[in-house]
Each structure stands twice: as C-alpha cells, then as structure tokens.
Structure 1
Amino acid sequence: MTDSNDPSKGSTDPWKKSGDAWDRSTNPWEQPVDPAPHVAAVGVPGAVAAQPGTVVDMVEPDEPGTSAKYTGGSKYRSYLFMYALASLGIFAIWGSMGGIILPNHVQLVEFGNFFTGADAGVDLAALQNLRAAVEAGTATPTAEEQRLLGLLAGFDAARAQGLATVTAVGVFVTMFIQPIVGVLSDRTRSPWGRRAPYIAGGAVIGALLLIALRYSSSIVLMAIFWALAQVVINCAQGPLTATVADRVVPEKVGSASAISGLGLMAGAVLGSVAAGMLFGAMGLDAYYPFAIALAAGAILFVLVCRDRSSTDLHNEPLNIGQFFLSFLIPLRDPDFRWVWIAKIVMMFGYTVGTAFAFYMLQGYIQPALSPEEATATAPLLSLAGFPFMLVAMVAAGRWSDRIMRRKPFVFWASIIAAASYLVPIFWPALPALFIQAIIGGAAMGTFLVVDQALFIDVIPDKRTAGRDLGMGALGGNLGQALGPIVGGWIVAWSGYQMVWIAAVAIVLVAAFAILPVKRAK
C-alpha cells in the first residue's frame, strides 16, 4: 500500500493522491455555496484555511481513513435532518414493540394455547370482571364459569412469563453488542467509511427479522427473532450515534447529540402511539410499517450523507482479552460502583412496574378493558407522561448544574418514583395508571438526566469516559432485563398488585444506594 503521508510520494494530504477521486479540485464535499466567509472552522484541528469569498463547510480529517467534520452550512443541516430521521426509525422500534406489538403478539399466541374450540370466542374483559366480582364476594361462579376462570389464571401467568422471556432474552443478548460493534466500526475499512456498513446492514437485516418475527407462532420463535433483531438493530444504532463524534466539530456536538436524546423520547412515544393505531387497523401486519421505516431511514442517511472512504485507515493491533477486562476497571472505584448499582436497581424497579402495563389494563384495573381497548389506551399512558418527563429533564438538568449538586436529585427522584407506584396499589383503576404515568414520568426524567451527570462526575479517569459511560449504560440495560423476568415470576406467583409492591421496595433501594457516594454532592 502506498504511504500517502510520505513526502517522497508527493502530496501529504491523505485525501489528495495521484489519480484518486478525492482530489480537492473535484471533491463534491467542498464546493463553495456562499460568497460570505465561514469562520466556524477556526481553531478546529485539521481545519483548512478558507480563501476570501469561500465557505468552509467541512474540516479535513487529521488521520487517513477518518471522517471529515461538518462546521455548518447546508450539508450540516442535511446531516442533522437525515440523522434525526434514521434515529427516529430506530427508536420507534423500541417504543412500538415493547409496549404494544410484542404484548399483543404474545397474548395472541398464549390465547390460542389456552382458549381453544368453543372457548376461542370467550370475552376476556367480561371474564376478568367476573373474576374481580368473585374475589370481592359479590358473585358466585357456575361450574362452567369456574372452569373458564381456571383457564384465565393460567393464561394470565403464561402471557406475563412469555412477554418476560421474549423481552429479557433480547436485552441480555444485546447487552454487550454496542461496545463490541463500536470497536469493530472504529477499525472498519470500506469505500463508504467506517460506520456506513453497520448502519445500513444492521437496519436492513433488522427489518427482515422484524418481518420474520411477525410470522412467529410460538414464544420460542418470538424470543429468537426478537433477540436477533435487537442485535442487528443495535449494530446500526451504535455506529449511527458515533457519526456525531466523527463528523461534527466540537462546538456543535452538544446540539447534534440533543437530537439523539429527543429522538429517543419522541421515538418511544410516537412509536407507541403509531403502534396502537396500526395494530388496531392491521393486526400483526403492523410489523411491516416499522420495518420499512427502519430500513428506509438508515439507507437514506448512508446515501444522502455519504462518508469519506476509510480504506486508508491505520489500525493498531487489538487484544480482545484486554478489551473486555478493561470494562471492569471503573467498578473498582467505590463511588462509580454505588452509582452503577443505583442505576441497575432504579431501572430494575421501573421496568418491574411498567413492563406489564398492557396486561394490567386487562387484568388488574376495574373495570377491565378488552384487548382492543387496551391496545388503544396503552399508548396514551406513555403520551401522558411524556411532557412531564421532558420538563423534568430540562429543569433538573439546569437546576443541578446551577447548584452543582446531583445526589439530592437522584435520591428524591427515586423516592417520588416509589411513591407513584403506591397509587395503583390502593386504587386499581384506569385513572390511577395515568396518575402513576405522570408522576413516574417526571421522576424518571429527573433521574435519567442527573444520573448521567453524576456518572460523569465520578468517572475515575476522564480519558476513558467513553468506556466508563458505556458501563453505566450496561447497568441500565441489566436492570431493564431483570425487570420483566422478576415481574413475570411475581405475576405467576401472586398477581399484579404484588408487582407494584415489589417496584416500591426495589426503587427505594436505589434511593439509598446513592447515599454512600463521596466525590459528588
């Protein structure tokens, strides 16, 4: 391979080689688009000095095979738009599948296992209300009704455990995938750049796996295809997020990163609302629109915001064993370890309390909703809590920055979240679930934003911030994986009310786990 940095070979510019298509005279990325000088590149490493009357919209890379950076202008705006579109396609998957489509799919599978033949036409809502009346002592079931109530008890336990299996397997399988894919994409050589093969490939394969998931007729098949889909979609999500660091100058990274945060929240809420509408109209075919949006968003991003070639990338040797062992280093620090534990427990408790909201609408509140009513109502719970979560994130983030304190916010957010779970314990009705969603949403918004800042405060070595924050994210994923599993066991053992009681106890542990932290106030 020719060394493009060798003076004896000609130009020292890694992008301008003899006979190479990246000669600046024909480089389509650096065409002037405005007669006014652009100064955003001033002070940026690798910046190309602008000639009078020339706009510098891109900053040349410092190393061969890496990306040029946007400094502003139309290309930067186009990048932000396409980045938001691709992110929304990914985050809508998480919002639509976990809360609406997968619970409905699991319910259909388990309903077919328990209610067959003449029982296939049973009215679940009426049966749930009959059970509540029997438990309250206001009704006495006939022998036939008692038989159906027995089937209902088995069905309730099976669908909760089935959903726990489908969701938890995927989270466990994908828990480590983003750090691994991040390292691989850092080292990838391709004409389309380092990240594009993962973004496009992960999204397209993920879309195909979602379609395969639509035709899964058992819990085992659902768990397999959903886990595989999550793996490859995460292979797209991580490198897509990394393009911000690759291709945006430091002065604009905060603004670009905010799009990812807003995309996460908007995707979760809009995905849930859209899934409720689509499933009501299309049934299991609702998988198709989300699969198409996922693939289309990623492909458009790669084509419209094409990256520089990474074929000249230089890689140092990688020791896989040392790479994995390095993730344990921050856990040796007591403060980091306590913050990590608090996040695991908080996300554990939060997921225990929310994982089965769709089923609680049918089997816990009174009067019980039908499956169709629950499908339409479940997204409204997410929608109700969303604005309060957003306001809490902004307010708590600014307030904690102003007073430079984090622990009180994390502590009281955990206490308030626990208090919100008391509402449906003492009032098993639909309004109680909305009140819980609103209070719990505000508490979780506060926790998420300040907990992230707290992690940054207690990182043992700021030079390894990426790795250590990745460990923090892994803690959250671990909590979210444990939540449905434990919740499913609780439902099978003693019903939905005990799920809320367990959530209160678990989240209170998160509140007190944060108190031993010493390096942050």
Structure 2
Amino acid sequence: MNPLVRAPRRTVAALIGTELLLTFALATPLIATLGLKAGEIDPVGKENLLGLVTAVGALAAFVLNPVFGHLSDRTRSRFGRRRPWILAGLAGGVPAAVIMATATGGLQLVLGWLLAQAAYNAALAALSAVIADRVPPEQQATVSGLFGAAGFAGVTPGLVLVGVLPGNVAALFLIPALAGVLGGLLAWRLLRDDAPVTEAAPVNLRSLLSSLVFDPRLSRGFTVVWVQRFLLQFANALIATFGLFYLMTRLELTTAAAAAVVSATGLVSLLLNVLAAGVSGKLASRTQAYRGFIVVAGLLMAGSMLVKMTAGSLWPIYLATGLAGIGLGVFYAVDLALVIRVMPGSADSARYLGVFNIAKALPQSIAPAVAPLLLTLGSDPVAPAAVKNYFLLYLTGAVAALAATALTPLIRT
C-alpha cells in the first residue's frame, strides 16, 4: 500500500463527526422520544400509534435513501454534489423536530417523523458516498470502520440525554436535531474539497423510479453483499425486537429486572460495537482480507443466537450480547468498504449506497412482523412450560447468520 495515498484528515474528521451527530439526531427519537410522545397523545393506544409512526418512517427510509442518493449523484453545483444535501438534510431535521415536539395528534406526529426521515436520509445518502468519492481504496476499510464506529457511538448521547431529561419531551426532540445541524456545518466546512460537478445526466421521473431498483445481474458481488447485510441485520433485529419479553419468559424475570438487564446488555453491546468496528476497519485496511472479516462476523452472530437458544440463566445472555456486539461491529467495519469495491459504477455511488442502505432498514420492519409468528409455532424445548417458542425464534436468526456467511465465497473482488 502506498503510504502517500491518503484521504485528507479533515475529510475523515468530517465523516466521523457528521455521522456521529446524524445518528444522535436520528436515533434518539427511536430510542425513546417517539414512544414518550405517543404516550402523551394516546395513553391507551400508544403501542399502536408508535407502531404506525415507525412503520411509516421505515417505509420512507426504504424509498427516499436511494432517491436522494440519485439526486446527489446528479447534482450540478459550485458547492459540489454532496455538501448541499448533507447540510440541507441535517438542517431539515429541525422543523421536523418542532412538528413532533408540538404534536397534539397522531397525524401530526406521523408527518413530523416522515419529514425527519426524509431530511436525515438525504444527508445520509450523500455522506456515505463521500467515502467512495474522496477516500482511496487502500484506506476505505479503515475509514469505513471509523464511520461505522461513529454510527454506533452516536446512540450514546441519546441514551444520556434521555436519562438527564426524562420528562422534557420537547427538549429530547430539539436538542438532537440542533446537534444534527452542527454536523451539517462541520461537513460543509471540512468537505470543501468536494469538487464542483459541471456535467451530470438529467433527472427525470424515469431516472427517479429506476433509482429504486437494481438489476442483480449487473454485479454479483454487490448483490451478495446486499443479501449478507440484509440477513445479518434481520438476525440482529430478531434479537432486539423481543429481548425484554424473552428475559421475562425464558428466565422468568420481573419487568423491572428484565428492563435493567436490557439496559446493561445494550451498553455492553454498544461498547463492543464501537471497539470492534474501529479495530476491524484498521486491520482490514492492512490485510485487504475483507471476506475473512465477513465470515468472522457471521459466525459470531450465529454463535450469539445459539447461546440465546439454550440459555437458562443470566450469564449466557451477557455472553450472547458480547458475541453479537463484536460480530455486528466487525461486519459494519468492512461491508461499506467492500460494497464500494463491487458496486456497478462510481458515477452513481450515492444511488447504489442508498440501495445498499435498504438492506439495513428493511429487516427492521420485517423482523417485528415475522417474530410473533415464529413464537407461536411449536413449543420451546428448553422451557416447555413457556407459551412462546424463543428457541425457534433464535434458531431462525442463527440460520440467517450462517446463510450470510455461506455466501461469502461468491464475492469476487
């Protein structure tokens, strides 16, 4: 590797800082604020309202990320292709936060979250493409790892803020949104080498619609990495969706005790995510053995599922959390760098990365819908008296993780 081929430090700093602040702005409502606001608006039907809001938001992310990526690829501006979308997207989160903070009905809350998803996905699509645009291939895994670590770490300020201001819902909406604006300003200042684009294909209805689809025949490698991200994120979503109820059913913990365990394991997972992503990205840049890291990640995720399948006490839960935390961190350290290598064309990098982000967003909607069905099939062999079959739930997650791992030899870079 040529040591002189490096992205400017300010570019790397902008990617890390902006991703951290963007995640803070986007994740805090999902962590707590939307649920708190739903409880204020409809104390009786808050679960249904929260489900509606998050479902609409997930659909918006599914559609808008590749669309905004497509628009970013074809933007002709003296300020470049990416910076205008990053700053405008993060600034657009503020009016969305105001709408949600002042919502007095479910429709207003849905509208506010829909606007927030549109704004933040515009910024995310452009920000991810900066790695493809400005970071040399030899350094992409390192930067991808730091970028992934920043995304995991961005959840932490939201957790702290919820603990400091548990009853101030308006502040919980507005503070993260304003932090997001700081991220936009940071990107605007430090990404000034985003070269202006004077020629780009025109945008029309046909091009917008085509940005939502991808022909798998164009790049087998891109398709394989997309499916791997989908399967591993699906497995992870199965862990998260009913984690609280799993502890109450399998280990017979009280609600308060189960909530405490979920909080503790969440912090452990977050710490390991950040460490694994940072270290793995650096190692992958040195070795260029991306596929080996994908295999390790898949096996760790499958191992986590197998431990949870058979757990009858508390300590295996922490072991499973550790395995999953490291596995997910390792995967997100290299998957972005790998997909940049195998995507069909660099001219449409933001569009293809937007399609790639669908593989992360879509399982978060599918897993909560599939999990209740799996829980009702058969009986749990570890806890026969239990009404819900958590053995089958986590077996499905293990199969998904192993399937993702088995696809790795199909990637040819």
Q: TM class by shorter-chain length?
A: 0.7 to 0.9
Within 5 A, what are the aligned runs for 1:463-478? 466=349, 470-478=354-362
Separation (CA, whole Å) in 2 of partners of 1:455 and 1:240: 15
Within 5 A, what are the aligned runs for 1:390-429? 390-393=274-277, 398=283, 401=288, 405=292, 408-409=295-296, 411-422=298-309, 426-427=312-313
Following TM superposition, by how much is the alpha carbon of 1:300 offset from its aligned partner in structure 2, in angstroms? Answer: 4.5
Deviates more, 1:503-512 or 1:354-363: 354-363
Residue 113 of structure 1 aligns to which amino acid in structure 2? Answer: V
Separation (CA, whole Å) in 1 of partners of 2:141 and 2:107: 42
Structure 1 residues 130-187: Cα deviation after superposition (integer angstroms, max 9, x where no partner): xxxxxxxxxxxxxxxxxxxxxxxxxxxx62x544432232122122323322232233
Within 5 A, what are the aligned runs for 1:20-99? 72=8, 76-77=9-10, 80-99=12-31
Following TM superposition, by how much is the alpha carbon of 1:513 offset from its aligned partner in structure 2, in angstroms? Answer: 5.5
Separation (CA, whole Å) in 1 of partners of 2:291 and 2:225: 17
Structure 2 SS opposite 1:113 = coil
Separation (CA, whole Å) in 2 of partners of 1:233 and 1:332: 29
2:324 is aligned with 1:440: yes
Structure 1 residues 458-500: Cα deviation after superposition (integer angstroms, max 9, x where no partner): x485768946555433222211221234447779999995567
Structure 1 SS opposite 2:55 = helix
- Contact 1:100 1:358 (8 Å CA) reproduced: no
2:373 is aligned with 1:482: no
Separation (CA, whole Å) in 2 of partners of 1:103 and 1:433: 26
- Contact 1:164 1:488 (8 Å CA) reproduced: no
Aligned pair partner of 1:291 in 177, 191, 202: 177
Counterpart of 1:148? none
Within 5 A, what are the aligned runs for 1:281-320? 282-303=168-189, 306=192, 310=196, 313-318=198-203
Aligned pair partner of 1:261 in 137, 141, 148: 148
Structure 1 residues 355-376: Cα deviation after superposition (integer angstroms, max 9, x where no partner): 3557778999622229xx95x8
Following TM superposition, by how much is the alpha carbon of 1:332 offset from its aligned partner in structure 2, in angstroms? Answer: 6.9
Structure 1 residues 413-434: Cα deviation after superposition (integer angstroms, max 9, x where no partner): 342132243266x44x6x6654
Counterpart of 1:55? none
Deviates more, 1:225-234 or 1:380-389: 380-389
Following TM superposition, by how much is the alpha carbon of 1:293 offset from its aligned partner in structure 2, in angstroms? Answer: 0.8
- Contact 1:360 1:496 (8 Å CA) reproduced: no
Counterpart of 1:222? 109
Following TM superposition, by how much is the alpha carbon of 1:384 offset from its aligned partner in structure 2, in angstroms? Answer: 0.7
Residue 388 of structure 1 aligns to which amino acid in structure 2? Answer: L
Higher relative contact order (CA 8 A, sep 6+): 2
Unmatched tracts of structure 1, length 5 or more: 1-39, 45-69, 115-157
2:202 is aligned with 1:202: no
Equivalent residue pairs, number: 398
Unmatched tracts of structure 2, length 5 or more: 380-385
Following TM superposition, by how much is the alpha carbon of 1:206 offset from its aligned partner in structure 2, in angstroms? Answer: 1.0
Aligned pair partner of 2:400 in 502, 505, 509: 509
Following TM superposition, by how much is the alpha carbon of 1:389 offset from its aligned partner in structure 2, in angstroms? Answer: 3.0
**1:84 and 1:477, CA in 2 relative to 1: closer, same or farther beyond 3 A?**
same
Following TM superposition, by how much is the alpha carbon of 1:379 offset from its aligned partner in structure 2, in angstroms? Answer: 4.9
**TM-score normalised by structure 2 residue count:** 0.75
- Contact 1:99 1:358 (8 Å CA) reproduced: no
**1:101 and 1:174, CA in 2 relative to 1: closer, same or farther beyond 3 A?**
same
Structure 2 SS opposite 1:224 = helix
Separation (CA, whole Å) in 2 of partners of 1:338 and 1:473: 14
**1:508 and 1:85, CA in 2 relative to 1: closer, same or farther beyond 3 A?**
same
- Contact 1:406 1:450 (8 Å CA) reproduced: yes
Following TM superposition, by how much is the alpha carbon of 1:219 offset from its aligned partner in structure 2, in angstroms? Answer: 4.6
Structure 1 residues 309-362: Cα deviation after superposition (integer angstroms, max 9, x where no partner): 84x722334565367547422257667655544432332232132135577789
Rg (Cα) greater in structure:
1
Separation (CA, whole Å) in 1 of partners of 2:117 and 2:232: 23
Residue 383 of structure 1 aligns to which amino acid in structure 2? Answer: L
Structure 1 SS opposite 2:44 = helix
Counterpart of 1:62? none
- Contact 2:145 2:332 (8 Å CA) reproduced: no
Separation (CA, whole Å) in 2 of partners of 1:106 and 1:500: 32
- Contact 1:209 1:228 (8 Å CA) reproduced: yes
**1:460 and 1:293, CA in 2 relative to 1: closer, same or farther beyond 3 A?**
closer
- Contact 1:244 1:257 (8 Å CA) reproduced: yes
Counterpart of 1:185? 72
Separation (CA, whole Å) in 2 of partners of 1:105 and 1:515: 43
Separation (CA, whole Å) in 1 of partners of 2:411 and 2:182: 44
Structure 2 SS opposite 1:328 = coil
Aligned pair partner of 2:162 in 258, 268, 276: 276
Deviates more, 1:203-212 or 1:470-479: 470-479
Within 5 A, what are the aligned runs for 1:132-211? 159=47, 161-211=48-98
Following TM superposition, by how much is the alpha carbon of 1:210 offset from its aligned partner in structure 2, in angstroms? Answer: 1.7
Separation (CA, whole Å) in 1 of partners of 2:157 and 2:333: 22
* RMSD, aligned α-carbons: 4.4
- Contact 1:272 1:382 (8 Å CA) reproduced: no
Separation (CA, whole Å) in 2 of partners of 1:305 and 1:196: 7
Counterpart of 1:61? none
Residue 306 of structure 2 aligns to which amino acid in structure 1? Answer: A
Structure 2 SS opposite 1:344 = helix
Counterpart of 1:519? 410
Structure 1 residues 63-96: Cα deviation after superposition (integer angstroms, max 9, x where no partner): xxxxxxx975xxx54x544543332210112332
Separation (CA, whole Å) in 2 of partners of 1:204 and 1:465: 24
Q: Report percent identity of matched pairs.
A: 21
